Amino acid sequence: MYLYPHISVFYLLNSMENMKTPLVLDMKDVVIVKPCKPTPSELLPLSTIDSDPVLNILCQTIYVYKANLDSPNGQLDPAQLIKEALSKVLVYYYPLAGKIVTFDDGKLGINCNADGVPFLEATANCELSSLHYLEGIDVPTAQKLIINNDNPFEDEKHALAFMVTKFLCGGFTLGMGLSHSVCDGFGASQFFRALAEVACGKSEPSVKPVWERERLMGTLLKEPLQFPIDETSRAVSPFWPTDEISHECFNFNAKSIQRLKMELMKESDDVKESFTTVETLGAYVWRSRARALKLNSDGKTMLCLAVGVRRLLNPPLPEGYYGNAFVGSYVVQTVKELDERPLSEIVKLIKESKKLPSNNEYIRNTINTLETIRQKNIKVEGTCASVVLTDWRQLSLLEEVDFGWKASVNIIPVPWNMLGYVDLCLFLPPSNLDPSMKAGVRVFVSLPKASMPKFREEMEALKLTRADDNST
């Protein structure tokens, strides 16, 4: 069976060759932005999910805005506007102006001391169009557009950092580094929208932030820990471990995704069956990844889908909760099963696994498991045997967040070292640069460099030629 969604690739290492001149920045000194009004001085504990050591990283994302001279805000200095808005919104999100601390028992917390947020302003030597609005940007260039304040040797780390880079065209990029220990994707989106609202003149955010991390505290399990895959049966790759990691993103348009779904539904012989994009692309990426990594056939591999539980908990979390509120739903297969079973069967397994977090007992047991792992100081690291899939498409970061320059035209995750990079897969919304990608998906992966050519080949096997596309 051959399936052919249109794909394209960015984060290619040779993308700099297309630039006439390298990106050069004129940077000001880092300033510290503090809340504009007095805020509570207190030590706030983070939840059990927040305290997962895997999440104790600064997640960096770059938002790209074109010049908008028609807007009143478009005439303003974006750095100054965002800096002032940040000072105001930190009155409501005052924990983000503090520092992350580790308690004696190993749990994480926030020292709410209004230390402030590092803020860096820069001016670029080119127009955003010369960088294709960061579509196709290579990682070293993207890293120039963020402020990296994630020093592992510091006892206390900032929860938030910003960098605004202005380009000659009047557009700008906004690089936001936010601690994953403090916010998940939904929480980060809530904060970012609040910042935009205040920047556009609102006196306060429309959604008030809620802390209440005590709602997601776990307890030590009495029974022995059980992991989806034990170390002895876990699949291994000849390409791992390595320090050479490639980061690439593959674009799938809506028509191609629909074709993939229809092929798999036809294969399943169940006319009532319906497959989602996460299920279909997730299954294909999981299998392609296992092949590219050359995982041993008798070893076990796992797909872990991050599922938000704000509304699934009983009682539900309040609106405005911005901490981590997700658990994993798991599917485990031997590599041989994953490779040889009809892909529609793998999709059905993923669909079935998504029902697990609807059970409140499952959610609580997951939180208790995380607490037990933390207390027993069990290290969870990237192995290439697992893929952790998280979907950013529902966060509305490209549709709703407007600082006065209209919605951003692109959003770029700068690779962050969670699970050694290699176990993480992001489903991203398409940029607003290509109308043909409307309702499409970008699939971002990080893999050992030696395995990426085979993975790219697997993605190319889905490629639909323009002639075939036009004939349908």
Which residues are the active-site residues?
Answer: 180, 402
Helix (H, G, I), strand (E, B) or coil at 178: strand
Residues with Cβ within 8 Å of 11's Cβ and at least 6 positions away in sequence, in order, are 136, 137, 138, 139, 142, 247, 248, 249, 444
Q: Which helix (H) or strand (E) holds 344?
A: helix 343-353
CA torsion, points 176, 180, 184, 186, in degrees to nearest 10? -10
Count the alpha carbons within 13 Å of 49 in the hemisphere toward its beta carbon: 26
CA 397, CA 411: separation in Å to the nearest integer?
A: 8
The amino acid at 225:
L
- Angle formed by the axes of helices 185-199 and 78-89, nearest 10°: 110
Question: Bridge-partner residues for 161, per DSSP?
Answer: 177
Bridge partners for 44 per DSSP:
110
- Tokens representing 450? 């030696």
How far are the Cα atoms of 119, 258, 458 from residue 263, in angstroms, in the given order? Answer: 49, 9, 17
